[in-house]
Structure 1
């Protein structure tokens, strides 16, 4: 039995604009008819927005115009009226200082567009990693029927017989350059193989992770996450999504029906199973906040701690998203979790059915790409949440991408006050650093950077790389790309710019990391730490004017999702007062 909350037909929200023969209704309809739309399109059928993050400045989303047309076909077939509209498109690969600075802006754009326009439901067209959470955040705040369709990942990259994973290969090769293992000419040649088709990252980076999160949350059709961007089945997915949103409006199936605490638990466990990005922590916390669902860092640690990583994809493993799709994609992962008692199978999805009904009968077509639960890539995947006097509000690490020998480590801090200080020091042969040291980067959190850039996976110093060392413990209040890897402690909260303990770490301080014990400790006396914090003064200047000042003044910490303090909660749909 499928979900149905409301009787059909009924008066829709769009009819507050288009229904009847009043002056205002005629005003609204007549302007829409300048496109040559027949009168009966305004007779009470669902009006569906297509929220498109297409932009030529966002390479991962540059193919979404075609998908929007496929969505329109489905909407028309199901008896709806599709109306496409643009929203701000934060693209990670080009936007400075960081796309994360503008995730909340895009979410505000989505929310206000949905709230102010005559829409009964919306299809969320997303791709590059910040667009998926931004669209879900905005849609959750308005709570109109909504469904995600992702742009899909790029095809595999290949260079000299080896797979080239988006981002992951870039970090590896850039370190090889510094270590003298690779020539710059070869690096430039490899560049041509890194992005060989439209789509988002072909690794289990943040874009693929968030597409998987949308599907695990129940906010996308089953199988949406992994279909390659250029595969014809991606167009079919868009077409079917267009059909489905019309039925969702008729059934009055809204995000608040789907985004339950059980749905977020499913997503957290799925993230562990796929070896997903640490960025998912911040984004799911923010989406939950918009949906009015209580979710904390402790939930991330508790729910994900015993979940095995079974998806053998870069950066944690060997393969790429193309193979993941051929192996069966996310439905296979969800089925494995369900069979292992780690999934709430009765959670509702946009299909109107439970997630267990959606994945019944799926098969794993490649057990090296999607491992059996008893033969995982990592026995305990998930995201580990660390606490201690260095991170009172928490910090995170991705065990599946870290080095086993560094998961318990005590080392001497080498401190970089900000990213420019790091750049100025890291290549200095006189820098007092070796592989036992712990690299500490400050002032790169939400306020500090501003926007919390993906700089936490600091490149190692050349003199260490030349010794054959490929990993060191790194700690910061920054993020890192989902395509990156290493023993990297991130999102340390409170951030340095807000006066967190990270701000007062000094060169030579001893730091203890114990991932199994979930501990991150600055080994100095408590009274000395208190004295340092009392004497601390911020070096981060408040931006003057514009959106960045708004961001600085209202952004929350990484431990709460880095959303704006005035945007939490689902405020519900509203019909604006007539102004004509």
Structure 2
């Protein structure tokens, strides 16, 4: 096609979208086209819908090692559908490589995604990512930017093997580390295991946070059906990339924004899937933040009602025995939707333009019942996570009951208190630690304001107890834990200790009662004594901050509000008026 035959672009689309301000619109278009021509684009290319591909590749992100090949598949899909693909980077959040924790930078990445999607001349975007905080950050940003978007996850890694035992990061990482701490595993053995836990590109091989967020994105309808569990190195992952690129062109032409796909009904679908897969506790915070960006919310009461009526169907580590590649082969998220049946909102529209009902009508109804159980024979009759409240958590806390010890669900114990992360590190393995198996380990000052809420809630079993064979005990904090972790662990206590929450008032020897049945967490100390402690309490001094750290500390919200920045949340769900 010669330049004279190229049809004119619709005004305000493609490279004519969002022109840079120079005080002269014609000059702005002329200058942009000049610089675009320097990159070798033809008039034919520039006449097409412009599809942004948001990439988050980094040498410090093992989850995204194969991203260049996946991005090429997306580009292929865009071009085959008649669009122009333009890839651009944002910051990357490699879970194990960020100090003090990747959670501190989730909101920074969300801001990066939002502003680059909004500022650059793209008609729609494909969000390519997978590592734990990456998917929520990309979706938070895209939801606020309000341009058409589709999520494409990088996919889970495959499993490895050690002495005939199948292994996958990172639940097996924690299991072997616990055995090493207790003396069951030798130094040479733990060194050998270290090299067998993560043997391919991709996100963790279990139902950790990355896999959970992939399933949630699919349940919300913002990624293509059946794509969440495809292994990173599987050819189907590249086909999902091509399909996502083609769909992004359709979205650019129809202008369907995320708010037209992600509704309260689809959020309920995502919550039910979270509960049915035995998903990560981190997903509660992330889905809260993502939903609030669209003016949506859900209460602890709604969450518990869903949890009590949604069985765990998926038998995957850390709540079961299988791995993500097994979940993919067993039918993935569509198999969960089909088995939950009338519990789901099947008329929600997906990014493909179909409803879930239409998807399931055409989907192969086979599933591996050892991985995705039937509704009649679930892994557990109730959902994997429960929200708690009480005088120790007036704004809530959560517990992953699918990965906890049922014999500890109704218990009372003596508090063994660690005042900070440093205090925990310095004393947890002390041979002089005064602790018994029925005590409650309590960690303070590990919440969003105090410490950017690291995954320190998986408090290790004290060495003196591990050596006695203790495998689990009640632990609680204002921190998070990895989605790959397990144990009877109360998390996200809000308000956090550093904000003056009741957790700050707990002292060694206090009695605490946990009741999963009544969904309560209570400090058994008289009100007048708590009032006296509260009057005497002063917040701990923190190191001076600057730049992003200062912005984070001054504006991050508590766990019950998703740990988002207050200025990013619409006023109708609690943001600034």
| TM-score, reference length from structure 1 | 0.94
Structure 1 residues 419-444: Cα deviation after superposition (integer angstroms, max 9, x where no partner): 11011111112211011000000000
Q: Cα offset for 1:18?
A: 7.5
Separation of aligned partners in 1, 2:238 and 2:226 = 13
Match of 2:156 in 1: 153
Q: Which moved more, 1:400-409 or 1:289-298?
A: 289-298
Q: Cα offset for 1:294?
A: 2.5
Match of 1:298 in 2: 301
Match of 2:358 in 1: 357
User: Given the alignment of the two structures, is residue 211 of structure 1 paired with residue 198 of structure 2, yes or no?
Assistant: no
Query: 2:54 is paired with a residue of what secondary structure?
Result: strand
Query: 2:394 is paired with a residue of what secondary structure?
Result: strand
Match of 2:268 in 1: 265
Query: 1:93 is paired with a residue of what secondary structure?
Result: helix
Separation of aligned partners in 2, 1:13 and 1:540 = 51
Match of 2:441 in 1: 439
- Kindly report which structure 2 residues correspond to 1:465-476, keeping only aligned pairs within 5 A, or say none: 465-476=466-477
User: Given the alignment of the two structures, is residue 175 of structure 1 paired with residue 174 of structure 2, yes or no?
Assistant: no
Match of 1:384 in 2: 386
Query: 1:267 is paired with a residue of what secondary structure?
Result: helix
Contact 2:18/2:119 (CA < 8 Å) preserved in 1? no
Q: Cα offset for 1:21?
A: 9.6
Separation of aligned partners in 2, 1:490 and 1:455 = 10
Contact 1:203/1:313 (CA < 8 Å) preserved in 2? yes
Structure 1 residues 210-245: Cα deviation after superposition (integer angstroms, max 9, x where no partner): 000000000000111000000011000000100001
User: Given the alignment of the two structures, is residue 312 of structure 1 paired with residue 318 of structure 2, yes or no?
Assistant: no
Query: Aligned to 2:68, which of 54, 65, 68?
Result: 65
Seen in structure 2, the aligned counterparts of structure 1 residues 151 and 530 have a Cα distance that, compared at 3 Å, is: same
Query: Aligned to 2:28, which of 24, 30, 33?
Result: 24
Seen in structure 2, the aligned counterparts of structure 1 residues 344 and 542 have a Cα distance that, compared at 3 Å, is: farther
Match of 2:548 in 1: 547
CA RMSD in angstroms comes to: 1.7
Match of 2:289 in 1: 286
Q: Cα offset for 1:529?
A: 1.0
Match of 2:345 in 1: 344
Structure 1 residues 19-75: Cα deviation after superposition (integer angstroms, max 9, x where no partner): 9993221211121121211112222x2111100011111110121111111101111
Seen in structure 2, the aligned counterparts of structure 1 residues 543 and 284 have a Cα distance that, compared at 3 Å, is: farther
Query: Aligned to 1:410, which of 409, 412, 416?
Result: 412
User: Given the alignment of the two structures, is residue 135 of structure 1 paired with residue 138 of structure 2, yes or no?
Assistant: yes
Contact 1:390/1:521 (CA < 8 Å) preserved in 2? yes
Contact 1:410/1:511 (CA < 8 Å) preserved in 2? yes
User: Given the alignment of the two structures, is residue 34 of structure 1 paired with residue 27 of structure 2, yes or no?
Assistant: no
User: Given the alignment of the two structures, is residue 117 of structure 1 paired with residue 120 of structure 2, yes or no?
Assistant: yes
User: Given the alignment of the two structures, is residue 188 of structure 1 paired with residue 195 of structure 2, yes or no?
Assistant: no
Q: Which moved more, 1:539-548 or 1:436-445?
A: 539-548
> Highest relative contact order (Cα 8 Å, sep 6+), 1 or 2?
1
Query: 2:202 is paired with a residue of what secondary structure?
Result: coil
User: Given the alignment of the two structures, is residue 81 of structure 1 paired with residue 84 of structure 2, yes or no?
Assistant: yes
Seen in structure 2, the aligned counterparts of structure 1 residues 501 and 81 have a Cα distance that, compared at 3 Å, is: same
| TM-score, reference length from structure 2 | 0.95
> Which structure 1 segments of 5+ residues have no match?
1-7, 572-580
- Following TM superposition, the consecutive aligned residue runs of length 4 or more in structure 1 with deviations greater than 3 angstroms are 8-14, 16-21
Match of 2:50 in 1: 47
Contact 1:387/1:395 (CA < 8 Å) preserved in 2? yes
Match of 2:397 in 1: 395
Contact 2:281/2:483 (CA < 8 Å) preserved in 1? yes
> Which structure 2 segments of 5+ residues have no match?
1-7, 573-577
Separation of aligned partners in 1, 2:489 and 2:220 = 27
Match of 2:478 in 1: 477
Query: 1:107 is paired with a residue of what secondary structure?
Result: helix
Separation of aligned partners in 2, 1:204 and 1:12 = 43
Structure 1 residues 521-543: Cα deviation after superposition (integer angstroms, max 9, x where no partner): 00000111121112111114164
Match of 2:575 in 1: none
Structure 1 residues 472-515: Cα deviation after superposition (integer angstroms, max 9, x where no partner): 00000000000000000000000001010001100000000001
Contact 1:396/1:491 (CA < 8 Å) preserved in 2? yes
